Amino acid sequence: MAHGRTNGSKLLWMALYMVASCSAVPISDLLDRASQRSDKLHSLSTTLTQELDSHFPPIGRMMTPRPSMCHTSSLQTPNDKAQALQVSESDLLSLARSLLQAWVDPLVALSTSAYTLPHPGQSSISNKIQQLQEHSKSLGDGLDILSGKMGPAAQTISFLPYRGGNDIGQDKISKLINFHFLMSCFRRDSHKIDSFLKVLRCRAAKMRPELC
């Protein structure tokens, strides 16, 4: 029993040490780390989308839903860097966190569906989806720490429900189309997240806007 209490105490002190360490890290350093993670996330999603494109039936391009059908499209976000530079730091972080949170369930759906995806690169795609989940979780944890340093506005998250479920299609064509569509939406959103965090990093470094 005493041994259990000792281990519990060690874990508690380790947790407290990690919290203290994070609180001592400057916001600019945390933003550097977050930007590096978001860059990896977007790069991986781009590679994955290109891999899917290599075996996508022509009819699929005609049947693919419009980008406005993405479940995150209702979130009002800056359209470009110029607009992003006009948004407050707290709101930019809130937008990035909202987008990232909105992909927790869809990434599970993609991971579940990847095992039966009718694509010659199915194994590689499945592995990359798992990496996306890991990078998303890691980035989300980092942004949680950042939001705690930037105040209540940065901690606000807009709820963007995904209602697609884990079954993305019954036949080969519908599976490929829906999988490809979800990945296209994620690639678009990961680009937004990466752009917002790079603007935040730029501001923290006090760089001129035109250099951001």
Domain 27-211 in CATH 3.40.50.10540: no
Whether 19 has a pLDDT exceeding 70, the answer reads no
**What average pLDDT does range 190-194 have in this prediction?**
96
Structure pTM? Answer: 0.84
C-beta separation of 181 from 56 below 8 A: no
CB of 38 within 8 A of CB of 197?
yes
Domain ranges of the chain: 27-211
| Residue of higher predicted confidence among 22 and 122 | 122
For residues 65 and 56, give the distance between their C-alpha atoms in angstroms, rounded to a whole number: 14
Token couple for 51: 């891999």
DSSP conformation class of 10: H
- 103-133 pLDDT, tens digit each: 999 999 999 999 888 888 899 999 999 999 9
What is the CA angle 29-86-33, rounded to 5?
Answer: 15
